[in-house]
Each structure stands twice: as C-alpha cells, then as structure tokens.
Amino acid sequence: MPVLWLILIVLALAVAGFIAGRLRVTSAGAERPHSLPNYYGWNVAMKVMAPAFLALVVWLLVQPMLVDRQVTAGLGEGAVPEGSTLGLVMSDVRRVAGGLDTAVSRGLITAGDADAMSAADSDVRSLLGEAGVALGSDVSPEVLEAAQDYRAMNSAGNFWRSAVVILLAVGGLVWGVAQSNRDFRARNAVETGIRMILLAAASIAILTTIGIVLSLVGNTWNFFQVYPASKFFGSFTWSPSFGGGSELGIWPLLWGTLYISFIALVVAVPIGLFAAVYLSEYAGPKMRAWAKPLLEVLAGIPTIVYGLFALLTVGPLLLTVFGRDGLGWMQAGTAVMTAGLVMGIMLIPFVSSLSDDIINAVPQSLRDGSYGLGATQSETIKQVILPAALPGIVGAVLLAASRAIGETMIVVFGAGAAARLSLNPFDAMTTVTAKIVSQLTGDADFASPEALVAFALGMTLFIITLGLNVFALYIVRKYREQYE
C-alpha cells in the first residue's frame, strides 16, 4: 500500500474520530462538558494521528537501512567485481529492484515472474530497458537475486508498515472516543499535545546540528580511512588528481582562506566602524533614515552577485592597475586581493550594523559625563565610547571574520583555483570553501579520497566558524549584560 494511501486513511480516521468524539459529548445530555466540544474532537483526532504518523516516519527511516544491511550482508564478497565497490553494486541492486517494480506495474511481467526469474534464462537488461531503466551492463545473477531479495523484504516491510500504522490509528481512535465523557479535560489534553508539537519544532534546531555533525563526522571518518589524517594536517601541498596519488594537505587552503578574510576585514572594519560611529553619533535623523538602509542594501545583495562583481568588474579593474600593463604584480584577475576587496565590501554593512547596535548600547550617561567635562564629540567617542564598547566591537569583528571564512561564492569566482602558499596578495589562491565546491561538483566517485576530502574540509570549516561564533556571542552577551 503506497504511503500516500496510508496517510489518507489515517487522515480519514482522524476526521471520523473528531466527529465521533464531538458527538459523544454533545449528545450526552444538558450538563456542560469540561471543555468546548471541539476540544473533544481534536483530542480524538490527535490520538489517531500522532502515534500513527510517528510510527510511519520512524518506519520510513528505519526500513531502508535494515533492508540495505540485510541485502548487503547477503551479497557477500564474491558479488563485487574487480574495480567496483560494494556501494556501486548496491546501487545497481536498487536500480534493478526499482526496474522490476516498474515492469510489474506496467504489466510487462507478473509479480510472480519477477520473483522467480533468473539471470540465466531471461534477458533482464532488455526487460528493464523496456520499463525505462537503462543499465550499463548485463545483470549478474548475484545482483538479480539480491534485487529479488530486496523486493521481497521491502514488500514484507511495507505490508507490516501498513498494518502497524492502521492498527495504531484505530487504537488511538478507540482510546480517544472512550475518553470522551464530560468530565474528561479535553482542552488540557489537546494543549499538552500542542505543546509537544511546539517542542518538537523547537528541537529541529538540535536535529539540524546533529545532522550537520553526523554528516561531517561520518564522511570525514571515511576520508581518514582512505587518506591518512597526518598527511591531511601535515602536508603543505594541495594537488588532487582523480587518477589517484593526490596530495591533499589543508594548509594552502587554510592560508588562502585566512589571507582573504584578513584583507576583507582590513577593508570592512574601518569603513564599517567609522560609518557606524558617524551614523549613531553625528548623523541627524534624516541622514540616518536614508544612509542606513542604503548601506544595508549591500547586505541584502546575494553573494553570487558579489562573486560575479569580483570576476567581471573588480578583477579586470585591478588587473589594469596591478597587472602586466601596470605595476606588474598581478598575473590574472582572480587573486586574493580581488576576493578580499569584494568580500570586504560585502561585510561593511555587517560590521556597521553590529557596531551600531553596540555603540547605541553604551549608556547616554557616559556621553553626558564626558560632554559635561568639556570633551569634544570625537574625544568622547575615542576615549569613552569606543573603549566602553570595545568588547562588543571585538565580538562583532569576530562574527564578521567567521562570515568571511565561511563565504563561498565570492572566492569561487574571485580568488582563483590554484592552491598555493604565497605572501603576494595579487597571487591567485584558493580557499577551503572553494575547494569544497570543486571537489563535490566534479565527476569524482563519492568514495574516492578526492571527493571525501570535501567533508574533512567542511568539518574544519565548521569547527573554526563554530568556535569563532561561540566565542563572539559569549563576548557580546557579556558586554550587553554589563549595561543592562
């Protein structure tokens, strides 16, 4: 039974339950029930849906894993041909199984045939071709058998899935309706249910973090199985070659990342900070009303736009000044300087609006105190406000640094592709994020170290930015508490 049908059945039961629950209290006499009638309906509907859908979701997640494991175990070592991996064979198995399903549903073969056929006496490949599943090679007997096992297990699993889900739904219906008498506190029950839903929604944040960590850790682990961690962290060369024999040292990428971020901060912090100081201390309400939103337009522009701006406008512009026709320091438009400069522009509003908040949090009484002593505005800013706001501003700069380190599109377009350790800011370099993109969008096999390295890079990136964020948020929070 397809999942969609299952969902519809549960929904129908829920509607029936709603009506039944409601009717039971409204028809039971003149005495007023504890809660409004609708709450009794909702209580039953909730009890129908919650366990059933929960079971369905868990089943949908667990069954493929179990079946995969069973079938993989059944395949054994012999089924994996030379030059292939278990993972590739398994994806073949899944394709064949899917093809058999399609063939059965189109009436090309009967369900019985699909279970009974053997690779020896029927041309599975052409059959599947007819069903719209093109295979690269003939189907080996092991794969066909595994595919048949796969189908069998899945259909058994699907049967039990439907049975369990419907049973739970019906059970919930009976329980809910039985509860529905006037003394039952239906509103409280429903509200507890809603609270659970709210809590579940809030927990998605945790699930996301767990998902990120799991997907990074698992694949990074796989990477270190095929490529030694000591070389990843110890080598100063980055030269992936998809034929094998790659050297995948992280340092050139990390260097490029930090160098570009540094230039970005050198551009963004002074401009952003001075802009924030001017806007919060000097500018009249009119100027604030137009200058602030205009600066924030820079923050609302997608990073792909900045990437293109770096590649097609800033790069060529820098090249005419610093390139062969100018000072001769630059070889190509893509360089650390290009990416850093554009990233700096992107970060200006980020720095300025964070600093603006922080400067505004400095109490007015400190300003008054300083003006009362005859200090000029700039003296007050330099000697009272900025020192008082320093921790917050440091936090803001750290947040901006974390942004810069994690930025992808600008470096993909602006920084170049060559990984090198160089001090010249007009050299092309590459970054962690740019390499994550290039290693995962190529044609590499997912199991090769050249693709898996992207997860190790992602892990590094995640840890660095997480550390920076936690630290920065901690500083900013401490700072705010000081003036609350």
Partner 1 sequence: MTDATSQGAARPRTSLTAADKRTQRRNAAEKRFRLYGLAAIGAGMFFLVVLLSSIIGNGIGAFQQTFIEVPVYLDPAKLDKNGNRDPAEMAKVSTFGYNPLIQDSLYQLVQDKGIATEYEDGGDMKALISASAAAQLRDRVLANPDLVGETVEFEILAASRVDGYLKDRVTRDSITEDKNIDAGHLDLVDALLEDGTVHKSFNLAFITGSDASESRPEQAGLGVSMLGSLFMMLVVLFLALPIGVAASIYLEEFAPQNKFTDFIEVNISNLAAVPSIVFGILGLAAFIQFAHLPQSAPLVGGLTLTLMTLPTIVISTRASLKAVPPSIRDAALGVGASKMQSVFHHVLPLAMPGILTGTIIGLAQALGETAPLLLIGMVGYIATNYPDGIISGFMSPNSAMPAQIYEWAKRADPAYYERAWGGIIILLVFLLVMNVIAIVLRRKFERRW
Partner 2 sequence: MYDAPLRKTDVEANEIKISAKDVQVYYGENHAIKDVSVELQDKTVTAFIGPSGCGKSTFLRCLNRMNDTIDICRVEGLISLDGEDIYDKRVDPVQLRAKVGMVFQKPNPFPKSIYDNVAYGPRIHGLAKTKADLDEIVEKALRRGAIWNEVKDRLHAPGTGLSGGQQQRLCIARAVATEPEVLLMDEPCSALDPIATAQVEELIDELRTNYSVVIVTHSMQQAARVSQKTAFFHLGHLVEYGETSQIFTNPVDSRTESYITGRIG
Residue 133 interacts with partner 1 (CB under 8 A): yes or no: no
Query: What is each CA distance from 90 to 37, 67, 85, 96, in whole angstroms?
Result: 54, 11, 9, 10
Query: What is each CA distance from 388 to 118, 218, 270, 378, in whole angstroms?
Result: 80, 45, 18, 14
How far is the C-alpha of 228 from the C-alpha of 253, rounded, in Å? 18
Residue 477: Cβ within 10 Å count: 12
Radius of gyration of the chain (CA): 32
Residue 280 interacts with partner 2 (CB under 8 A): yes or no: no
By CB under 8 A, the residues from 451 to 470 that bind partner 1 are 454-455, 458, 461-462, 465-466, 469-470
Residue 4 interacts with partner 1 (CB under 8 A): yes or no: no
Which of 116, 312 has the CB closer to partner 1?
Answer: 312
- φ, ψ at 344 (rounded to 5°): -60, -45
By CB under 8 A, the residues from 63 to 122 that bind partner 1 are 64, 94
Residue 408 interacts with partner 1 (CB under 8 A): yes or no: yes
User: Given candidates 327, 383, 417, 446, which one binds partner 2 under the rule CB under 8 A?
Assistant: 383
Segment lying near partner 2 (by CB under 8 A), choices 247-255, 375-383, 397-405, 413-421: 375-383
Which of 51, 406 has the CB closer to partner 1?
Answer: 406
User: Given candidates 155, 228, 368, 477, which one binds partner 2 under the rule CB under 8 A?
Assistant: 368
By a kind-dependent CB cut-off of 5 to 8 A, residue 285 interacts, out of partner 2, partner 1, none, with partner 2
Q: Residues in contact with partner 2, total (CB under 8 A)?
A: 21
Residue 217 interacts with partner 2 (CB under 8 A): yes or no: no
Minimal distance in Å, beta carbon 145 to partner 1?
Answer: 22
By a kind-dependent CB cut-off of 5 to 8 A, residue 366 interacts, out of partner 1, partner 2, none, with partner 2
Query: Token digits for 119?
Result: 């690779």
By CB under 8 A, the residues from 388 to 417 that bind partner 2 are 388
Residue 348 interacts with partner 1 (CB under 8 A): yes or no: yes
Name the DSSP class of 328.
Answer: S
- Quick one: which of 34, 350, 320, 59 has its CA closest to 179? 34
Tokens 């029930």, residue?
A: 33
How far is the C-alpha of 457 from the C-alpha of 437, rounded, in Å? 10
Q: What is the 3-state secondary structure (H, E, C) of 220-270?
A: HHHHHHHCCHHHHHHCCCEECCCCCCCEECCHHHHHHHHHHHHHHHHHHHH
By CB under 8 A, the residues from 221 to 250 that bind partner 1 are none
Which of 227, 455 has the CB closer to partner 1?
Answer: 455
Residue 282 interacts with partner 2 (CB under 8 A): yes or no: no
By a kind-dependent CB cut-off of 5 to 8 A, residue 384 interacts, out of partner 1, partner 2, none, with partner 2
Segment lying near partner 2 (by CB under 8 A), choices 44-52, 203-211, 337-345, 361-369: 361-369
Show contacts of 375-383: CB within 8 Å, 24+ apart.
Answer: 377/281, 377/282, 381/277, 381/281
Which of 106, 382 has the CB closer to partner 2?
Answer: 382
Residue 287 interacts with partner 2 (CB under 8 A): yes or no: no
Segment lying near partner 2 (by CB under 8 A), choices 31-39, 188-196, 358-366, 393-401: 358-366
First-to-last C-alpha distance (Å) of the chain: 60
- Quick one: which of 448, 445, 444, 439 has its CA closest to 417? 439
User: Given candidates 375, 386, 394, 466, which one binds partner 2 under the rule CB under 8 A?
Assistant: 375
Minimal distance in Å, beta carbon 376 to partner 2?
Answer: 5
Number of H helices, E strands in the chain: 19, 2
Binding site for partner 2 (CB under 8 A): 284-285, 363, 365-376, 379, 383-384, 387-388, 482
